Amino acid sequence: MIQTKLSLPQNYDSHHAYPLILINDGDLHHFNALKEKAILVGLLPENRLVDYTPWQATGIRTGAENFGGQADEYHNELFHKVLPELQSKYSIDTNKIFYGGYSLGGLAAVYSLYRTNIPSAVFSICGSFWYPEFVNFCKENPVINQNASVYVYNGKTEGSHHNNILDNAPKCAEEIHSSLQKQLNHFISVFDDFGHHENLTNRYKALSDWLERQL
């Protein structure tokens, strides 16, 4: 069951159709620059290790929780239950539905490109593209949402010194960016020199600037 956090523009007018930004993990404060121009909805999953992962996989270290692999079920609930409910209550521009997230939330957003064409734009910051078999999946499957505007941002030193699957994060990110570039009509690829939890202010500022241009 997805819980939601909603932010409406202060002068919300039901006669005006607003862009909708759906944000995995619900970190709305990163999008303050857009809160008067769009309806922001933070999505809170029951368990992000389950809901944001495309298929089951073993935990990244001994004793860590395994990944549940129910992103298809999560997206089905999001786009066929949560989204219609939002559209019944609020005035939403159906041509401007944006969806994305950070880390595993970014992984889920990119995965959605291969499963549905409902979002008009998809974004990912530091997407967990090291996820087992995800690179192969992206290379071997067609993007369904080819007309979406897509923004993908990763750090070149993500995952370093973990001595596990995370060590492959930068290489996997480069391969995912390259694979998406070949299939998408509107794709922005960004890399910086930082790790997974670094440079957040600048990363979200760059994302907000891009989103504002899409609005």
Q: Which carries the bigger pLDDT value, residue 158 or residue 2?
A: 2
The upper half-sphere exposure of residue 180, i.e. CA atoms within 13 Å in the direction of its Cβ, equals 32
3 state DSSP class of 61: coil
- Residue 165 confidence (pLDDT): 72
Sheet with 18-24, edge to edge strand ranges: 3-7, 39-44, 18-24, 92-102, 121-125, 149-155, 186-192
The count of other CB atoms within 10 Å of the CB of residue 128 is 28
Q: Which long-range contacts (CB under 8 A, 24 or more apart) does 56-63 make?
A: 57/131, 57/132, 57/133, 58/132, 60/162, 60/164, 60/165, 60/166, 61/164
Mean pLDDT of 46-51: 97
- For residue 119, how many C-alpha atoms fall within 13 Å in the half-sphere facing its CB? 29
pLDDT, mean of residues 150-164: 86
Q: CATH code at 109?
A: 3.40.50.1820
What is the tens place of the pLDDT at every residue in 71-123? Answer: 999 999 999 999 999 999 999 999 999 999 999 999 999 999 999 999 999 99
Pairing of strands 186-192, 149-155: parallel
**Among 52-56, 72-76, 177-181, 196-200, the least confident range:** 196-200
Q: How many domains does the chain have?
A: 1
**What's the burial of 77, exposed, middle or buried (CB within 10 Å: 0-12/13-18/19+)?**
middle
Is residue 23 classed as helix, strand or coil in its secondary structure?
strand
Q: What are phi and psi of 172, to 5 degrees?
A: -65, -40
Structural domain boundaries, residue 81: 3-214
